[in-house]
């Protein structure tokens, strides 16, 4: 499994910094975003370190699918019956700030477009 000791999300996976964890599987972990942009804002991450969704899909395609399945399961457990948004920010111009791939799961309010 690929890991980076300098990466904040790798540290959450390792349990060395705390997070409000809402889901765990052998390949994925999900926790609430520290600065929520919606009533439900969860980050779903692979345990392995890859900088973005494309690199994860290239190296661990099954884990990429696990992220989507985990998001479905969390959306159900959070009661997001009316819908939710899934976002992978990739790169500087998309305002990606943490370079360990993470799937934003946002819900609990109406989602306009473009996102604010
Ligand atoms: P992005 O801009 O797509 O890279 O999103 C990174 C997200 O990680 C932001 O929404 C941050 O609020 C969130 N974040 C950063 N550090 C933590 C942390 N320790 N626990 C939970 N969320 C975090």
| Per-residue pLDDT at 38 | 97
| Per-residue pLDDT at 113 | 82
Tallying the residues shown for the chain, one arrives at 116
CATH code of 8-107, in short, is 3.30.428.10
Average pLDDT (43-69) is 98
Which ligand 1 atom sits closest to the C-alpha of 41? 10
| Per-residue pLDDT at 2 | 87
Question: Is the alpha carbon torsion for 94, 90, 76, 16 positive or negative?
Answer: negative
| Per-residue pLDDT at 93 | 96
pLDDT in tens, 72-113: 999 999 999 999 999 999 999 999 999 999 999 999 999 988
Task: For residues 104 and 90, give the distance between their C-alpha atoms in angstroms, rounded to a whole number.
Answer: 12
Average pLDDT (54-69) is 98
User: How many A from CA of 62 to the centre of ligand 1?
Assistant: 24
| Per-residue pLDDT at 34 | 98
Our answer to whether residue 66 is catalytic in this structure is: no
Contact assessment for residue 64 and residue 104, using Cβ atoms and an 8 Å cutoff: no
| Per-residue pLDDT at 112 | 86
Of all residues in the chain, the percent with pLDDT exceeding 70 is 98
**pLDDT above 80: residue 115:** no
- Is 97 a pocket residue for ligand 1 (Cβ < 6 Å)? yes
**Domain ranges (residues) in the chain:** 8-107
């Amino acid at each position: 499994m690929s890991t980076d000791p300098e990466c904040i999300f790798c540290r959450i996976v390792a349990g060395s910094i705390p997070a409000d964890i809402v889901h765990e599987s052998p390949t994925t972990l999900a926790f609430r975003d520290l600065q929520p942009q919606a009533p439900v804002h969860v980050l779903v991450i692979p345990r392995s370190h890859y900088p973005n969704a494309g690199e994860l899909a290239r190296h661990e395609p099954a884990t990429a699918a696990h992220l989507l399945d985990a998001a479905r399961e969390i959306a159900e457990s959070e009661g997001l019956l009316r819908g939710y948004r899934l976002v992978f920010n990739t790169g500087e111009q998309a305002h990606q700030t943490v370079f360990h791939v993470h799937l934003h799961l946002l819900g609990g309010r109406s989602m306009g477009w473009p996102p604010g």
